[in-house]
C-alpha cells in the first residue's frame, strides 16, 4: 500500500498514497473533500467543463482504500458533495457504487461549507466528532483543540528534487492540528506557503506529499526556526 506512518497526539496514523488517512487502532479511514458531483454542478451552472467521470474515479479510489485497509469505520470530513441537493444529478451507477461502499460500515458524514446539513444517504450526519484524542471537523478553528483533524484547504506542497520540482496534494501537521488533502479528483489545491495555511501551522509543522510513495518534509513556506 506504500503508506507512510507518522505520529499525532501519541496515535500511530498512516498517510495513504491517495490522500486518505488510516488509523489502525480504530480501523478508521478518514477522507476529506471528495466533492462528488463537481462536474455535474459545473455543467448545471455553466462553469468550467470537467471530465464527467470524476465522481467515478473518486469512488474507485475510495473502494481501493477500503479494501486495502479493511477499515470498519469511515469519516468523510465535509465537502463530500460539491453542492447541496446534487444526489439527483449523479449517475445511478455512481449512487449504487456509493451505497455499496457504505454497506456494513460505520459511516459518518461531517458537514462542510459545500454540503451543510444532512445528505440523503445512509450513515450518521454530524458537525463534529471526537474519537479518543482526535477531533474531526471540516475546517480549522483559529484556536484549535489539540488533536484537531480537518480538511477544507486542499493543501499541496512542492518539493525540489534533482533539479526538478514536484507538486503534490499533501497532509500538514504539527503538535496540535492535522489538515488532510482533498481526496476528490479534479479538486485543485492551495499551496502550503499561502498565508491561510502558514498562519494556522506552527514553525515545526511538516508536510506529507501524497503519491505512489508518500514523502514527509518540513512544511514549505514556514519561516525558518531561529
Q: Render pLDDT for 154-205 as a digit per residue (tens, 0 to 9).
A: 999 988 777 788 899 999 999 999 999 999 887 789 999 999 999 999 999 9
Of residues 114 and 198, more confidently modeled: 198
- Mean pLDDT across the chain: 88
Per-residue pLDDT reduced to its tens digit, 41-63:
554 544 554 555 778 899 999 99
pTM exceeding the 0.75 threshold for the entire prediction: yes
Grid cell locating 166? 514536484
**pLDDT at 141 > cutoff 90:** yes
> CA 211, CA 203: separation in Å to the nearest integer?
25
- List the one residue out of 118, 138, 176 whose CA is nearest residue 31: 138
- Residue in the structure block whose three cell numbers are 479528483: 185
Q: What is the 3-state secondary structure (H, E, C) of 133-191?
A: CEEECCCCCCCCCCCEEECCCCEEEEEEECCEEEEEEEEEECCCEEECCCCCCCCCCEE
- Residue in the structure block whose three cell numbers are 473533500: 33
Q: What is the pLDDT of residue 39?
A: 58
Percent pLDDT > 70 in the chain is: 85
**pLDDT at 149 > cutoff 90:** yes
**pLDDT at 136 > cutoff 70:** yes
Of residues 165 and 12, more confidently modeled: 12
- Residue in the structure block whose three cell numbers are 483533524: 149
Residue 74 vs residues 82, 110, 148, 226: alpha-carbon distances, Å: 19, 11, 17, 40
Q: What is the pLDDT of residue 82?
A: 72
Q: What angle do CA 134, 80, 100 make, to 5 degrees?
A: 100
Q: In the structure, what pLDDT confidence band is assigned to residue 85 with cuts at 50, 70 and 90?
A: low
Architecture per CATH, domain 4-218, reads as 4-Layer Sandwich (3.60)
Residues facing residue 222 across a β-bridge: none
Of residues 53 and 126, more confidently modeled: 126
Strands 28-31 and 73-76: parallel
Question: Is the Cα torsion angle 196, 200, 201, 203 positive or negative in sign?
Answer: positive
> CA 22, CA 37: separation in Å to the nearest integer?
24
Beta-carbon contacts of 102 under 8 Å, excluding residues fewer than 6 positions away, are 74, 121, 122, 123
Q: What is the pLDDT of residue 60?
A: 94
Amino acid at each position: 500500500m506504500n503508506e507512510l506512518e507518522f505520529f499525532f497526539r501519541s496515535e500511530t496514523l498512516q498517510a495513504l498514497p491517495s490522500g486518505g488517512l488510516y488509523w489502525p487502532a480504530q480501523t478508521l479511514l478518514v477522507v476529506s473533500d471528495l466533492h462528488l458531483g463537481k462536474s455535474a454542478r459545473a455543467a448545471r451552472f455553466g462553469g468550467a467543463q470537467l471530465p464527467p467521470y470524476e465522481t467515478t474515479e473518486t469512488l474507485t479510489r475510495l473502494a481501493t482504500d477500503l479494501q486495502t485497509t479493511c477499515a470498519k469505520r469511515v469519516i468523510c470530513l465535509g465537502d463530500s458533495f460539491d453542492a447541496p441537493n446534487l444526489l439527483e444529478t449523479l449517475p445511478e451507477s455512481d449512487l449504487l457504487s456509493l451505497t455499496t461502499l457504505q454497506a456494513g460500515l460505520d459511516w459518518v458524514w461531517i458537514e462542510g461549507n459545500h454540503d451543510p446539513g444532512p445528505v440523503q444517504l445512509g450513515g450518521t450526519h454530524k458537525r463534529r466528532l471526537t474519537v479518543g484524542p482526535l477531533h474531526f471537523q471540516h475546517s480549522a478553528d483559529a484556536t484549535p483543540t489539540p488533536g484537531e483533524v480537518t480538511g477544507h484547504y486542499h493543501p499541496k506542497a512542492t518539493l525540489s528534487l534533482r533539479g526538478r520540482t514536484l507538486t503534490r496534494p499533501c497532509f500538514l501537521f504539527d503538535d496540535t492540528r492535522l489538515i488532510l488533502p482533498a481526496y476528490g479528483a479534479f479538486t485543485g489545491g492551495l499551496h502550503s506557503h499561502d498565508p491561510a495555511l502558514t498562519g494556522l501551522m506552527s514553525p515545526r509543522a511538516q508536510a506529507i506529499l501524497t503519491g505512489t510513495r508518500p514523502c514527509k518534509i518540513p512544511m514549505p513556506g514556514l519561516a525558518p526556526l531561529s
